[in-house]
Chains A and B, each alone.
Chain A
Amino acid sequence: MKRWMIVSLVLLSVLTLTACNDNGNDNDDDYLVTITFWNIFTGPDGQEMVNMIDDFNAENEGVYRVNTQTIPANDFYDKLNTVVPQGQGPDVAIMHLDRIARYAQLGLLTSFDDLVEDIELNEEDYISAVWDAGIYDSKRYGIPLDVHPIGLYYNKDILDEYDVEVPTTTAELIAACDILNDPSIDQWCLPLSNVWPSQLLFQASLFQHDGQDMFTDTMYPAYNTQEGYDALNVLHELIYTHGVSPENVTVDEDLAIFRQGRAAFHINGIWMLNGIIDSGVNFGTASIETLFGDTPAIWAGSHNFVMPRPAKVNEDKQEAIMAFISYVSENSLRWANAGQIPANLTVLESQEYLDLPYHSTFANVDHIVFPTISPYFQDSFEPVFSRVTEAMSMGNADIQALLDEAETEGQQRVDEALGN
């Protein structure tokens, strides 16, 4: 018994003594400026980013150095929330577009306004929707890296076998499914998950019906309208009236069915591209821009560069940050290989990009519609997501009642957030 106590005491002293040692940064004094960059690109997807950073460091040896840290996406914002207010945040980071307004309003981000001119980045270089979306309160807080829209994956073998063309409207989809749906051989037309990514499909459908997600003056939900009703009803009817999908499909099950070659169509983001390539299915991609309604609209998210508020502003670091951002932007063709669509127009118009087999057909970037950029988007719009799930998981769902419920809750949450 006494032995492990002695061991503990020895350990305790060893701990306190050795851990006081400074680790010593490796050769950072050789560089003019070192900046820290935090991103969420874990796993194989992140490899491209790591390569780009290594190349940037090699090209700027002795001048700039980027130290990167990858943090799993699910916990990234928890970490930011904890460290940025205490001055321990990174110099530059990746943030999802829909979070920027909130973090900007909370005062946790530094604006790019003065710096953008220095490196000749302007709206002509980028897809206009995503360039505009990085602005909050007339200041620029985000510089886009990519856009990731949702689109249609289709099984070429199944379509060829039944001689069906890729549908572009709801009517065409229903007609195609009449032919392609065959539960007896366990073959489905378009399995639809009633949880993720149903929220994204609903938003796309809403915009395709010319609906609106939230009012920018009151911040209240704006989807409890005829357009919103139609938008949700389309999804409900696809499952329960037209039977294009099995019932009660949950997250990743729709993906699994497609990957197993038992579905003709699958709707998901471009981020799933590599996963579907790996499945071995012979597939193609197409846009969903009028699949639910008449107005062309595609839901997309976007990864942006942001600058968390530092403890002290450092102009040298800002120079390095801008150099890094423009480097990555110019080379973002490589980023396409990670299952993303680069936001840089020059890249999008290049022959190498157009030659990529799946990217250019996936979405018409001119029809990308982002959700309203507002710190209150989550409060106003999020309550509808659980109702979308209900509408898509219950055959006798009362769509109007669900929208009413969601709107009420959204209004209450907005009131609370605005301090009404």
Chain B
Amino acid sequence: MQDIGLIGSVSIITAGLTIAIGSIGPAFGEARALAQALSAIAQQPDEANTITRTLFVGMAMIESTAIYCFVVAMILIFANPFWDYVVSKAGG
């Protein structure tokens, strides 16, 4: 019974930490990319199409690290294999 409480609390705390720390880096990165792209568009408005397209693709790349953290957090909360194991053992 003690295992269930331990695994549950550790999973939830880790999920929170994962998404909290994992979103800081991509947020800084995206803000920097956006600021650079805006100043580039201000300097060369003719190239706005190319810059915007590259910005979108680059931002998707940066954002994917945050998405990985989100997926890991979701796995920890909703599909935790250790939790399932302990619950099945306690139930059986």
- State yes or no: do A and B come from one complex: no
Residues on B lying within 8 angstroms of A by beta carbon are: none
Residues on A lying within 8 angstroms of B by beta carbon are: none
